C-alpha cells in the first residue's frame, strides 16, 4: 500500500495532529522499518506531503505527555508503544507484506509543484517519481539531473541571458552552467540550494557514466528534500511558478 492509498484508507486529512503522527509513524515503521522518529523527521514528512508544518516545540511536549508514545532508541526520538503498534497491525494488516514498494505517490516531487508548468516538465517529474517508486534508482538519478539542467536553461532563457551558457550556439555542459550560475549569482537561490546544486549533477553523472556504480534508494532519499526545494526555486526563477 502506497502512502496516498494509506491516507485515503485512514481518512488521514480528517485526523488530529497527534493522530496524524501516530498513523504516519506506523506507516514508516511497517514499510520502512523505521523503529523511531524525531519531531524534525515527522515534521519534514508532513510538509513534504503538503500539510502545514507543526509547531515542533509544542508537538514534542505533546509526544512526551502522550501514553501512546515511548522514548525511541535515538536521542530525542519517539516510537509507538507496543499496544498501539499491535492495534495498528490488526487495523492495517496489508502493510505487513514484505515487498520493496516505495512509500508514496509523488515521493520526490509533489504533483502540486509541477502541475501547470510545461508538459515536458510534468512528464519528467512524473518519471522521476515513478522510477523511484519502482526501485529504478539509477534511472531516477539521471532523470533528476536532466530536469535540473532543463530548469537552469529555461531560467537563462527567461532572463534573456542564454547566450552566456552557449559556445557558438551550442549549450555548454552542465558542470559549466552550474559553476557559472553560482559564481555570478544569476538566480536568487537559497544557501542550501547553492550548496547542493552540483551534488544532483554528480549523482546523475555517477548513475549514467560510472560502470561499477549503482545508485541506491538511500542515495536519493538523502537528497530528496533538498532536490524538491531546488526544483521549486528554479521554477520561480524561470517564471513557471508565481
Residue 60 is predicted with a pLDDT of: 94
Q: How far apart are CA 65 and CA 35, in angstroms?
A: 20
Q: How far apart are CA 6 and CA 4, in angstroms?
A: 5
Cell numbers describing residue 217 = 534508494
Cell numbers describing residue 235 = 521554477
Give the three-class secondary structure for 70.
strand
Instruction: For the chain, list the domains and their CATH numbers.
Output: 3-96 (1.10.10), 111-237 (1.20.120)
Q: How far apart are CA 114 and CA 70, in angstroms?
A: 39
**Which residue stretches of the chain are H helix?**
3-9, 17-32, 39-48, 56-65, 82-91, 111-114, 119-133, 137-158, 174-183, 191-209, 217-221, 224-237
Residue 18 is predicted with a pLDDT of: 94
Cell numbers describing residue 218 = 538511500
Question: Average pLDDT by consecutive 10-residue portion of the chain (242 residues)?
Answer: 78 91 90 85 88 91 94 92 89 63 60 90 91 91 96 95 92 95 94 92 93 92 92 93 82
Residue 96 is predicted with a pLDDT of: 61
Q: How far apart are CA 153 and CA 156, in angstroms?
A: 5
Residue partners of 42: CB distance under 8 A and separation at least 6:
21, 24, 25, 59
Amino acid at each position: 500500500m502506497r502512502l496516498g492509498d494509506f491516507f485515503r484508507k485512514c481518512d488521514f486529512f480528517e485526523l488530529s495532529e497527534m493522530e496524524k503522527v501516530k498513523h504516519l509513524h506506523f506507516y514508516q515503521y511497517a514499510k520502512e522499518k523505521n523503529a523511531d522518529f524525531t519531531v524534525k523527521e515527522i515534521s519534514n514528512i508532513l510538509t513534504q506531503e503538503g500539510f502545514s508544518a507543526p509547531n515542533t516545540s509544542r508537538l514534542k511536549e505533546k509526544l512526551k505527555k502522550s501514553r501512546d508514545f515511548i522514548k525511541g532508541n535515538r536521542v530525542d526520538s519517539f516510537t509507538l508503544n507496543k499496544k498501539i503498534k499491535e492495534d495498528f497491525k490488526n487495523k492495517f494488516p496489508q502493510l505487513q507484506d514484505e515487498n520493496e514498494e516505495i512509500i508514496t505517490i509523488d515521493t520526490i516531487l509533489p504533483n502540486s509543484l509541477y502541475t501547470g508548468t510545461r508538459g515536458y516538465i510534468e512528464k519528467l517529474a512524473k518519471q522521476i517519481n515513478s522510477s523511484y517508486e519502482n526501485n529504478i534508482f539509477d534511472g531516477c538519478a539521471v532523470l533528476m539531473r536532466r530536469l535540473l539542467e532543463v530548469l537552469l536553461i529555461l531560467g537563462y532563457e527567461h532572463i534573456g541571458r542564454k547566450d552566456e551558457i552557449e559556445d557558438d550556439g551550442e549549450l555548454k555542459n552542465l558542470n559549466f552552467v552550474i559553476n557559472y550560475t553560482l559564481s555570478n549569482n544569476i538566480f536568487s537561490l537559497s544557501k542550501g540550494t547553492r550548496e547542493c546544486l552540483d551534488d544532483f549533477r554528480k549523482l546523475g553523472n555517477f548513475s549514467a557514466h560510472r560502470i561499477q556504480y549503482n545508485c541506491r534508494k538511500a542515495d536519493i532519499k538523502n537528497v530528496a528534500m533538498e532536490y524538491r526545494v531546488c526544483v521549486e526555486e528554479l521554477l520561480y526563477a524561470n517564471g513557471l511558478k508565481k
